[in-house]
């Protein structure tokens, strides 16, 4: 839209899937988009395709989020918390009744799908503009 000021948009997990699609929509609307994730090769490819910026960090790790702040916008109008996925796909299956393995699997999925949103939101809260929006996505991938 003519005269519309571009919003600063941060999309976690923005390299693929839902996050990549959200980033594409915001970029097409003329917003200044920054995507984040763990895999630099994936982020670089998506960022080049969409003509957006990217920052590589592990959103479930407080130290990594803290370090990434230098690469994130000074003000944020829209935060899309999308980082996550089913960590069970990256670990051996847990036998029924195996409580230690079950606890570890649940903690890994919690960290990937909930803690990521908590840490990034908390880190960016001082940068949120008046009227900023936070969108937190979930999917069957978190099952």
pLDDT digits (tens, 9 = 90+) for 82-125: 998 877 666 677 778 889 888 988 899 899 999 999 999 999 99
Domains of the chain: 8-142 (3.40.50.720)
Q: Within 10 Å of residue 18's Cβ, how many Cβ atoms?
A: 17
Element (H, E) at 12: strand 8-12
pLDDT digits (tens, 9 = 90+) for 8-21: 999 999 999 999 99
The rounded mean pLDDT for the chain is 92
Contact indicator for 29, 36 with CB cutoff of 8 Å: no
d(CA 53, CA 102): 38
d(CA 96, CA 12): 33
| pTM for this prediction | 0.90
Contact indicator for 60, 34 with CB cutoff of 8 Å: no
pLDDT at 140: 63
């Amino acid at each position: 839209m003519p005269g519309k000021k571009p919003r600063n948009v941060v999309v976690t997990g923005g390299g693929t899937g839902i996050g990549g699609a959200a980033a594409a929509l915001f970029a097409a609307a003329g917003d200044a988009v920054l995507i984040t994730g763990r895999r630099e090769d994936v982020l670089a490819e998506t960022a080049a395709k969409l003509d957006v910026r990217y920052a590589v960090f592990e959103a479930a790790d407080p130290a990594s989020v803290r370090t990434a702040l230098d690469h994130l916008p000074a003000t944020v109008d829209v935060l899309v918390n999308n980082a996550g996925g089913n960590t069970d796909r990256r670990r051996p299956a847990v036998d029924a009744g195996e409580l230690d393995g079950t606890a570890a699997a649940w903690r890994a999925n919690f960290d990937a799908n909930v803690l990521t949103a908590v840490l990034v939101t908390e880190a960016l809260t001082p940068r949120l503009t008046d009227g900023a929006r936070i969108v937190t996505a979930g999917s069957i991938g978190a099952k």
